[in-house]
A and B are shown apart, each in its own frame.
Chain A
Amino acid sequence: MTVVQAPRRDAPPAVPPRPSFRQRLSKWDVKFSPYAYIAPFFVVFGLVGLFPLLYTAYVSLYDWEIGDDDPPFVGFENYVQLFGDGQFWNAVGNTLSIFVLSSGPQIVIAVLLAALLNTRLRGPTGWRIGILIPYAASLVAIGIIFANLFGNQYGLLNSILEMAGIDRIDWQAGTLSSHVAIAVMVNWRWTGYNALIVLAAMQAIPKEINEAAVVDGAGPVRRFFSVTLPLLRPTLIFVVITSTIGGLQIFTEPKLFDVGQGSNNGGSSNQFQTVTLYMYQQGFENFDLGYASAIAWVLFLLIVVIALVNFLITRRLAATEGGRR
């Protein structure tokens, strides 16, 4: 377009001056360099993100066992089988239950912790680092320690319960008790991490707004619900989405919580087998790659759906709080 219009403005030169090589180079530079700059990310993403995703979809259409030379194509049979598989639905139920038990309290506590850390404290950095320490600890170590704490006969928690005159709980044996124990592990690790993110957002809230609310006569509780929370909305959405993704992929905690540590069964009757554990078991213990791939894709879609639902809920919740004013 510009090339066509250019001769009209400056009448005399009928032949436009040929741009020198250097000029052309700099023009290409402007045009193409930005793509080159961002290319590494997309190349790496394509290799380790997109390709496995698509290849998994491809594998899921075959009856593919590790070591098969030419696995037979079965179309959507793996998916059909999966939707009729009671153990899969049991795993979905366990995952959702553990997710609700962990993410729910975790975010509420994280926001409250952040509010506390946002008040005037002595040595604020120390406290902030303190709540992040669980996050820095090795996940495997945490799993092993917690599995020991929740041991049936020689676990610390049951000893305490017994001392207090309460009946022992066989944490691994029950469905709810095992879910609670795993959720405790998850919360212990992630609450501080989320609290720090929320805290950063809280500190970005302009002081004037709070001060105006004080002048209007709002107490601390009212200010928290009517000023702080609505302004935290984008951050809360972020935290909810990331913990949805993490929570639905939960793997290490239930794997290490099993009595026979490292088992993929998720307890004697799969009472705490999550979807990722089930996927891992199908893929790398039973070597049924096609079926495992199908599970991976259904899990992927499940996460997308639940993240969307959570996004909408969080947006609405925080919006009505703000809108009432």
Chain B
Amino acid sequence: MRNRPRRTLTLTTILATAALLAGACGSSGSGEPADSGGPIELTIATFGEFGYEELLREYQANHPNIKVTERKTGKAGPHHQNLIAKLGAGSGLADIEAIEEGHLSNVLDKAARFNDLTQIGPADAGADRWLPWKYEAAKSKDGKLIGYGTDSGPLAMCYRKDLLEAANMPSDPQSVKALFATWESYFQAGQEYVQKSGGKPWFDSAAQNFNAMVNQQEVGYLDRNDKLTLENNPGIKKAWDQVTAAVAQGQSAKLTAFSNEWNSGFKQGAFATKACPAWMIGVIKEQSGPENAGKWAVTDAFPGGGGNWGGSYLSVPTQSKHPKEAAELAAWLTAPEQQLRAFEAKGTFPSQVKALESPRLAAQTEPFFAGEPRIGELFAAQARKIAQPQYKGPGDGQIQENVTAPALQAVEQGTAPAQGWQQLVDGAKKIVG
């Protein structure tokens, strides 16, 4: 009799162990085939703020057979890490995956795992809907369209009106345009500002300007054969020399973008100018705080013409069980009308021709900035100045984030420019391999 409870225990243990094993192994492979008739469930994975909440609700109301779930991630980095990992794993992705411009090259490298949207997408989502450079950038080498463009980040120059005034320099939007015409004039004005203001920095960090300068080059870090161009790309070397020379003159506030110190720098007025993609307006507003209202201004000029910084795409991975429906939803979300509404909801600047021409966009103003500029019109003008997409090969984003920015930071911390350049070349070689 004494044995009885023990035996029960033994059996329980064995059962429990078996259950544990079964549980550990049995959780995979439960995918059900897509059936017709029942409601279609679509998922869309985004990061940050896309402004889709209201739009998705409306879409479901108009399409009773479709149910959409939005998976939101806070930051772009983890979102894309997850995207690449699950692309490798072969399952787990949403029907629609958002892709940020900086990570696009890594995705285009794996174009075989995405649907060609020109094949499965609706007919009205043609190339003429987007600005040409936005559309072209999402094409893989073999001509597949991987993503529909969502927002974009046309560049203008933001500046502190009050700080320029204090340094006895031109400060209204029309007269500063001359300062921001070319990079030469920009850095020259910076040198003048440093002298007149008693040593105050001109811009926030070297990396912020350098990124824009590299993006303006015809050929970026990689050429069309995915070969590193650094050592024989005079444009990039020239930009490096210009920026590091400006650092040596004390023009940089040495504040790494999006760091805590950078945020504090906005409140303290630590720099006078800031390279300003459309979405930066919201950042400036939030970080400067109400106490600095009316001190910032923006003008429709950017050194060296225009440029784009940021913006995303919506893609449909081949993992999706309802690619046609997913593509349809993605096309609808990126249509001009919806882009305008997303812009009004969260400030994501549109990339479609019709949206850019819309009077609704043009009418948008920004009361936080001096003179309440019509930022919709201003950035639309800047968007039209962008010439062509620069080809970005695999590893381009990593070079920019993990090699270029740290190398420039090292120069700001006292490393000699030549040594920093070597750090950049070595690091980029390691990534491209």
Using a CB–CB cutoff of 8 Å, the interface residues on chain A facing chain B are 22, 25-26, 29, 32-33, 36-37, 39-40, 43-44, 47, 66-68, 87, 144, 147-148, 151-155, 170, 173, 259-265, 267-270, 281, 284-287
In chain B, residues 156-208, which have Cβ atoms closer than 8 Å to a Cβ of chain A? none
B113 partner residues in chain A, CB cutoff 8 A? 67
A43 partner residues in chain B, CB cutoff 8 A? 17, 20-21
Q: Please tell me if the beta carbons of B261 and A269 are within 8 angstroms of each other in the complex.
A: no
Interface residues on B, range: 35 or more
Give B175 Cβ to nearest chain A Cβ, in Å.
Answer: 31
Q: Please tell me if the beta carbons of B413 and A173 are within 8 angstroms of each other in the complex.
A: yes
A-B contact pairs, 27 of them (CB 8 A): A33-B9, A33-B13, A43-B17, A43-B20, A43-B21, A44-B20, A66-B87, A66-B88, A67-B88, A87-B430, A148-B260, A151-B261, A151-B264, A153-B255, A153-B270, A154-B261, A173-B414, A259-B261, A260-B256, A263-B406, A265-B406, A267-B406, A268-B410, A269-B410, A284-B81, A286-B395, A287-B84
**What residue in chain B is nearest A147 (Cβ atoms)?**
B260
Q: Please tell me if the beta carbons of A67 and B255 are within 8 angstroms of each other in the complex.
A: no
Q: Please tell me if the beta carbons of A36 and B14 are within 8 angstroms of each other in the complex.
A: yes
In chain B, residues 403-420, which have Cβ atoms closer than 8 Å to a Cβ of chain A? 405-407, 409-410, 412-415
A151 partner residues in chain B, CB cutoff 8 A? 260-261, 264
B75 partner residues in chain A, CB cutoff 8 A? 262
B110 at the interface (CB under 8 A from A): yes
User: Which residue of A36, A68, A87, A144 contacts B10 across the interface (Cβ within 8 Å)?
Assistant: A36
Q: Please tell me if the beta carbons of B405 and A260 are within 8 angstroms of each other in the complex.
A: yes
Q: Please tell me if the beta carbons of A259 and B13 are within 8 angstroms of each other in the complex.
A: no
B364 at the interface (CB under 8 A from A): no
In chain B, residues 381-420, which have Cβ atoms closer than 8 Å to a Cβ of chain A? 395, 398, 401-402, 405-407, 409-410, 412-415
Q: Please tell me if the beta carbons of B6 and A29 are within 8 angstroms of each other in the complex.
A: yes
Complex CA gap A281/B430 in Å reads 13
Q: Other than the known A287-B84, A287-B88, what 15 A-B pairs have Cβ atoms closer than 8 Å?
A: A25-B7, A26-B3, A29-B6, A32-B10, A33-B6, A39-B13, A43-B17, A44-B20, A66-B85, A68-B88, A151-B264, A259-B409, A284-B85, A286-B395, A287-B106
**What residue in chain A is nearest B414 (Cβ atoms)?**
A173
B13 partner residues in chain A, CB cutoff 8 A? 33, 36-37, 39-40
B21 partner residues in chain A, CB cutoff 8 A? 43
Give B257 Cβ to nearest chain A Cβ, in Å.
Answer: 7
Give A263 Cβ to nearest chain B Cβ, in Å.
Answer: 8
**What residue in chain A is nearest B410 (Cβ atoms)?**
A268
Give A145 Cβ to nearest chain B Cβ, in Å.
Answer: 10
Q: Please tell me if the beta carbons of A268 and B406 are within 8 angstroms of each other in the complex.
A: yes
- A153 with B413, Cβ < 8 A, contacts A39-B13, A262-B77, A269-B423 known: no
B132 at the interface (CB under 8 A from A): no
B245 at the interface (CB under 8 A from A): no
Give B167 Cβ to nearest chain A Cβ, in Å.
Answer: 20
B120 at the interface (CB under 8 A from A): no
B88 partner residues in chain A, CB cutoff 8 A? 66-68, 287
**What residue in chain B is nearest A267 (Cβ atoms)?**
B406
Contact with A along B51-91 (1 / 0, CB 8 A): 00000000000000000000000010100010011011000
A268 partner residues in chain B, CB cutoff 8 A? 406-407, 409-410, 412-413, 415
Give B24 Cβ to nearest chain A Cβ, in Å.
Answer: 6
Q: Please tell me if the beta carbons of A40 and B17 are within 8 angstroms of each other in the complex.
A: yes
- A40 with B20, Cβ < 8 A, contacts A33-B13, A66-B85 known: yes
A26 partner residues in chain B, CB cutoff 8 A? 3, 7
- A260 with B110, Cβ < 8 A, contacts A36-B17, A285-B402 known: no
User: Which residue of B10, B87, B412 contacts A67 across the interface (Cβ within 8 Å)?
Assistant: B87
A286 partner residues in chain B, CB cutoff 8 A? 395, 398, 431
Give B80 Cβ to nearest chain A Cβ, in Å.
Answer: 10
B406 partner residues in chain A, CB cutoff 8 A? 263, 265, 267-270
A153 partner residues in chain B, CB cutoff 8 A? 254-255, 261, 264-265, 270
- A67 with B84, Cβ < 8 A, contacts A43-B20, A147-B260, A259-B409 known: yes
**What residue in chain B is nearest A284 (Cβ atoms)?**
B81
**What residue in chain A is nearest B397 (Cβ atoms)?**
A285
Give A271 Cβ to nearest chain B Cβ, in Å.
Answer: 9
Complex CA gap A286/B397 in Å reads 10
A173 partner residues in chain B, CB cutoff 8 A? 413-414
Q: Please tell me if the beta carbons of B259 and A66 are within 8 angstroms of each other in the complex.
A: no
B225 partner residues in chain A, CB cutoff 8 A? none
User: Which residue of B256, B257, B413 contacts A170 across the interface (Cβ within 8 Å)?
Assistant: B413
**What residue in chain B is nearest A262 (Cβ atoms)?**
B77
Complex CA gap A152/B110 in Å reads 41
User: Which residue of B16, B110, B405 contacts A40 across the interface (Cβ within 8 Å)?
Assistant: B16
Give B146 Cβ to nearest chain A Cβ, in Å.
Answer: 15
**What residue in chain A is nearest B13 (Cβ atoms)?**
A36
Complex CA gap A43/B265 in Å reads 54
